[in-house]
Amino acid sequence: MSFWDELRNPSSEFSVMPFWFWNDDLDEAEIVRQIGDFQDHGAHGFVIHPRVGLPRTLGWMSDELLHFYDIAIAEAERRGMVVILYDEGMYPSGSSAGQVVAENPRFQTRCLDKIDLAAGEDLPPLPPDQTLAAVVERGNGARMAVIDRPLDAFIRGIHYIGDGPAEDEPPAGDLLNPDAVASFIRHVYDSFAARFSQYFGKTVMAIFTDEPSPVGRPRERGVIAGTTGILEHVNRILGYDFTPRLPALWYDDEVDAVRYRRDYERAVALRMEETWYRQLFEWCEGHGLPLTGHPARGDDIGAERYFHIPGQDLVWRWVLPDEPSALEGEQATQGKCSSSAMIHLGRRRNTNECCGAYGHELTWAEMNWLADWCFVRGVNQIIPHAFYYSVRGIRRDERPPDVGPNSPWWDRFPQYADRCRRLSWLNTDAAHVCQIAILGAADYLPWEPAKVCFQHQRDFNYLEERHLWEDAIVDEDGVDLVGIHYAAVIIAHEPDPRAIPALDRLAQAGRLIHFPADDLIERIDALTWPDVIVDPPSPALRVRHIIKNGYQIYLLFNEERAPLTVRATLSADGRPIRFDAATGEATAADLDHLSLAGYELAVFVLE
């Protein structure tokens, strides 16, 4: 098949993969009917997501519920569709709808708490389920005890209480305890394997883990994520004894409180990689089933290394067109977070779960804008949130909207699905042309320099700092990693000490740019060549340059409502062909008078 034929009609492998909320009494014939309706509208796969609203006769991981999985997976196989298994009875992942804690109460989520001690006061006796972590002295001379205790936290459940809207709230599991995580794997992953392993890596293309958190959904405030023995691991990860710094977790007047609080958070995030993400990743490796989903935060790039398909999550109207949130804040980093992880980890796909809880006010234009916001940042698989099995009663208002069969645009959904399929195909198995890296930590990506780069059409990737001492080549020419060369590296945070030797080499070569810098673009341009130059300046224009099947391809996206017209100069040579991802039509392009309507994404292929 030629490049153009495949671009117009890519394989269904690149289909959208909507969450399918199973949220009411299930019926075999209705499941089969809905699957056919999905495929007729361009969705060639789905994520089975048990959801609040299921009857109590369909308990999490029960044989009665898994029977309907059998029906759905078999029908998907018959139709040549694919399925992703969701790993929890709602979310966040890690509880198996309370089965982990039911197996062993010590597997309940835990935390660190403090008890202030008066002068000469001894610590009172602790309850049997609490232990003393340390007694430390504050900067003002006062003493405090730090204790490890159970945390009152839960996950959302799959059953309403009575007629709702109150829901079951199963106790959250302790994801910092490797034994509790092993219990979760036994309850969910091993049970899935026992029933569906013949489909793994084929019809069942992946398993989805959803925003795991060391504190679940806590009912308490003022406590710190932890578990029994956490200090041993914090000290090991940080490389120094954190015990004297414990007061900084509660008191702002401690010396360097912000720094030490940040150190502790980073250590917990890295411990979560060891206890949670690594165990799931290794199980999936051993069973030929890719792990996908997303971490809890939009800039948790470190955890992405344990996903075969890294992912992120646009929910709660966190990112919106014509609002600062499109470029500012933690959530604004998430598109580049998952796509950069994909590139640097040598993965093939990355996902974004779009539109969750954007409300009934979500519009057709916004839904398309959110997808294009992702595509121009390198995402290549969209997971629409969500298709509802049922909108009966209060189900319609549970994290709305339904963006599928019960939406006002269902008759137009094939256009959306086809656009997403074409753009997903373009962003897959393509070489990203990029010379700029913005350095980040495992749980931190700076949005401020990214905003400046976006507004000046200087494309970049986020580079997690561990690559600098693990697998990147760093010399006077810059950073080389998995076939991509960065001639300029921007740093905006205090790095891990292990990154210092590499950063010193970059600084000596003049390739390290410290942010903030008023002349950031000038300093970038002294080290790289501008890939796209537009006149007049257009802060709303986003760009992505890839090479696929030998073709130079540019994605240009007007991220704002106002139309723009520019003269665009591209660094690559060739006759520009403008491709409409919605219609599949290709026409000659005039880059001297390039016009983009509001929110329009255009593809330019250079022949």
pLDDT above 70 covers a percentage of the chain that reads: 100
Residue 547 has pLDDT above 90, yes or no: yes
By the 8 A CB rule, do 570 and 578 touch? Answer: no
Residues 6+ apart with CB under 8 A from 440: 299, 301, 446, 462, 463, 464, 465, 493
Q: Which of 527, 547, 573 is the last residue of a domain?
A: 527
Average pLDDT over residues 406-427: 98
The rounded mean pLDDT for the chain is 97
Are 37 and 87 part of one and the same domain? yes
Are 172 and 290 part of one and the same domain? yes
Q: Report the length, in residues, of the chain.
A: 607
Are 448 and 336 part of one and the same domain? no
The angle at the Cα of 201, spanning 197 to 204, to the nearest 5 degrees, equals 70
* Domain at 337, CATH number: 3.20.20.80
What is the predicted pLDDT for the residue at 368?
98
Is there a domain that residue 545 lies in?
Answer: yes
* Domain at 493, CATH number: 3.40.50
What is the predicted pLDDT for the residue at 450?
98
Average pLDDT over residues 416-431: 98
The count of other CB atoms within 10 Å of the CB of residue 57 is: 11
Are 183 and 39 part of one and the same domain? yes
Are 359 and 467 part of one and the same domain? no
Are 523 and 551 part of one and the same domain? no
Q: Which of 395, 429, 463 is the last residue of a domain?
A: 429
Question: What pLDDT, in 10s, does the model give residues 442-460?
Answer: 999 999 999 999 999 999 9
Residue 223 has pLDDT above 90, yes or no: no
Is there a domain that residue 243 lies in?
Answer: no
Are 50 and 24 part of one and the same domain? yes
Is there a domain that residue 6 lies in?
Answer: no
Range of the domain at 513: 434-527
Average pLDDT over residues 380-400: 98
Are 309 and 445 part of one and the same domain? no
Lowest pLDDT segment from 158-162, 219-223, 272-276: 219-223
Is there a domain that residue 306 lies in?
Answer: yes
Question: What pLDDT, in 10s, does the model give residues 492-515?
Answer: 999 999 999 999 999 999 999 999
Q: Residue written as tokens 């090991």?
A: 236
pLDDT above 90 covers a percentage of the chain that reads: 99
What is the predicted pLDDT for the residue at 64?
98
Are 413 and 471 part of one and the same domain? no
Number of domains, the chain:
3
Residue 1 has pLDDT above 90, yes or no: no
Is there a domain that residue 34 lies in?
Answer: yes
What is the predicted pLDDT for the residue at 429?
98
By the 8 A CB rule, do 401 and 317 touch? Answer: no
Is there a domain that residue 141 lies in?
Answer: no
By the 8 A CB rule, do 4 and 553 touch? Answer: no
Structure letter (DSSP) for residue 159:
S
Are 564 and 493 part of one and the same domain? no
Structure letter (DSSP) for residue 8:
H
* Domain at 542, CATH number: 2.60.40.1180
Residue 276 in 3-state DSSP?
A: helix
What is the predicted pLDDT for the residue at 222?
80
Question: What pLDDT, in 10s, does the model give residues 265-303?
Answer: 999 999 999 999 999 999 999 999 999 999 999 999 999
Q: Which of 429, 446, 462 is the last residue of a domain?
A: 429
Are 182 and 34 part of one and the same domain? yes
Are 415 and 511 part of one and the same domain? no
269-294 burial, b for 16+ CB within 10 Å, e for fewer? bbbbbebbbbbbbebbeebebbbbbb
Average pLDDT over residues 70-81: 98
